[in-house]
């Protein structure tokens, strides 16, 4: 493509050009590059707009030969307006010359790369014989968590829970090939792997419900003050906390409240996931330990995923 030619892909076309197995491979590679210092990623920037109950985030990165930035919003009230609560665009550039290469609608890409992170974390942190997945919150993020974890594990049962009964029905009717069981919030925690994808600000998962050997993908907390898990869980013996990025998670991830209130400090964080992927830190070390992956979403994930779509689109 010449300098004045920019690829523009809408949501439908971008979604056609991506699949979960490739995204998992790309994101896992991006994690390793980041751990080895081959990728660059400054912290995400937040534009908070409480008057609209929403915010925007700018997420730049250089990884896998591409520079890029994602511009993404989170507006929880959009659900009532039949508009996605999360919408995004990814702009890719040539890192050598600065030429713009493409602008790709990134809503599906965001869902896929977030799911991929949960799948990758489960690969390294869940028990190898895990065969049940619990899903708390049944929006788009839950779908890609299921897609990704099922790429890594042979799931015999999927336990699901949402406070919105219509969300439960929509979820079960939109996905085939899994043995779903609608259960209570407490029962969800009996699964080997649990992914939480809710927007709550007060903990809904009680520490006493989490059994030894469980792996939790804590996905929902993505802004300051949000939390899904009781903070007491993080200070229990045998609990291993793994984050995607320490600076981001202590500001806006699942651990942000516990960290900023002094319940935990950096010494309580075992590792970041990129270092686990790169083999610098061990993943699960016993059947009984409880592992928690705190995901805030990294720009390297977005650029690595957009690369797949871009290169496929240009042939």
177-226, pLDDT tens digit by residue? Answer: 999 999 999 999 999 999 999 999 999 999 999 999 999 999 999 889 99
pLDDT of residue 84: 85
What residues act catalytically? 70
Query: From its phi and psi, is residue 100 left (phi > 0), alpha (psi between -120 and 50) or beta?
Result: beta
pLDDT tens sequence across 43-74: 889 899 999 999 999 999 999 999 999 999 99
pLDDT of res. 4? 60
pLDDT at 2 over 80: no
CA–CA distance from 172 to each of 86, 165, 281, 310 (Å)? 22, 11, 37, 32
The domain locations on the chain are 7-109+300-314, 127-298
pTM: 0.94
Q: Does 127-298 match 7-109+300-314 at the fold level?
A: no
The confidence band for 166, taking pLDDT boundaries of 50, 70 and 90, is very high
> Domain 127-298 belongs to what topology?
Rossmann fold (3.40.50)
Mean pLDDT on 227-240: 97
Candidates 3.30.1780.10, 3.20.20.70, 2.60.40.2230, 3.30.420.40; CATH matching 7-109+300-314: 3.30.1780.10
Q: What is the 3-state secondary structure (H, E, C) of the chain?
A: CCCCCCEEECHHHHHHCCCHHHHHHHHHHHHHHHHCCCCECCCCEEEEEHHHCEEEEEEEEEECCEEEEEEEEECHHHHHHCCCCEEEEEEEECCCCCCEEEEEECHHHHHHHHHHHHHHHHHHHCCCCCCEEEEECCCHHHHHHHHHHHHHCCCCEEEEECCCHHHHHHHHHHCCCCCEEECCHHHHCCCCEEEECCCCCCCCECHHHCCCCCEEEECCCCCCCCCCECHHHHHCCCEEEEECCHHHHHHHCCCHHHHHCCCCCHHHEEEEHHHHHCCCCCCCCCCCCEEEEECCCCHHHHHHHHHHHHHHHHC
């Amino acid at each position: 493509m010449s300098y004045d030619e920019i690829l523009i892909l809408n949501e439908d076309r971008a979604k056609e050009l991506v699949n979960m197995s490739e995204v998992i491979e790309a994101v896992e590679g991006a994690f390793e590059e980041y751990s080895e210092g081959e990728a660059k990623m400054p912290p995400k920037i937040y534009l908070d707009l409480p008057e609209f109950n929403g915010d925007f985030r700018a997420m730049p990165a250089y990884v896998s030969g591409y520079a890029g930035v994602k511009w993404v919003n989170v507006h929880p009230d959009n659900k009532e307006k039949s508009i996605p609560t999360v919408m995004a665009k990814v702009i890719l550039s040539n890192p050598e010359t600065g030429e713009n290469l493409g602008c790709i609608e990134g809503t599906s890409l965001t869902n896929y790369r977030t799911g991929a992170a949960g799948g990758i974390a489960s690969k390294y942190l869940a028990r190898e014989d895990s065969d049940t997945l619990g899903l708390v919150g049944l929006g788009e993020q839950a779908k890609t968590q299921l897609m990704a974890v099922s790429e890594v594990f042979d799931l015999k049962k999927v336990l699901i829970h949402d406070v919105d009964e219509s969300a439960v029905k929509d979820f079960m009717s939109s996905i085939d090939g899994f043995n779903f069981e609608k259960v209570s919030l407490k029962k969800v925690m009996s699964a080997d792997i649990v992914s939480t994808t809710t927007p709550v600000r007060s903990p809904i998962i009680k520490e006493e419900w989490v059994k030894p050997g469980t792996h939790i993908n804590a996905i929902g907390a993505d802004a300051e003050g949000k939390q899904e898990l009781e903070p007491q869980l993080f200070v229990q013996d045998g609990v291993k906390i793994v984050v995607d990025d320490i600076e981001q998670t202590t500001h806006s991830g699942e651990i942000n409240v516990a960290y900023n209130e002094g319940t935990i400090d950096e010494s309580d964080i075992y590792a970041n996931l990129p270092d686990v992927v790169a083999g610098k830190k061990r993943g699960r070390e016993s059947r009984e330990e409880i592992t928690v992956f705190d995901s805030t979403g990294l720009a390297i994930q977005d650029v690595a995923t957009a690369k797949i779509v871009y290169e496929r689109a240009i042939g």
